[in-house]
Amino acid sequence: MSSPFAHSLSSEPPENWQSLHDHLEHVAHMAKTLAEPFASGERAWNAGWLHDVGKVLIRC
């Protein structure tokens, strides 16, 4: 099974697309950094990891 992608461009080859994992990790770090002054870094970190949860369907 291939890894899901967060961002892709039809003009770019798949090796240049951003994986969903890399995207979620980046968003989580950014969200935590922005929320830390409000004492909400951990909540923002979790929200960053979960914000695209609907993009992936796991088949059992």
Residue 40 inside a domain? The answer is yes
Q: What is the pTM of this model?
A: 0.78
Residue 15 inside a domain? The answer is no
Indicate the residue type of 46. Answer: N
pLDDT of 49 reads 94
Tell me which DSSP letter residue 11 carries.
Answer: T
Residue 60 inside a domain? The answer is no
Q: What is the pLDDT of residues 9-27, one digit of tens each?
A: 788 888 888 888 899 999 9
How many structural domains compose the chain? 1
pLDDT of 37 reads 98
Closest CA to 54 of 24, 22, 14, 12: 24
Residue 13 inside a domain? The answer is no
Residue 11 inside a domain? The answer is no
- Domain containing 30 equals 20-53
Residue 14 inside a domain? The answer is no
19 in helix, strand or coil? strand
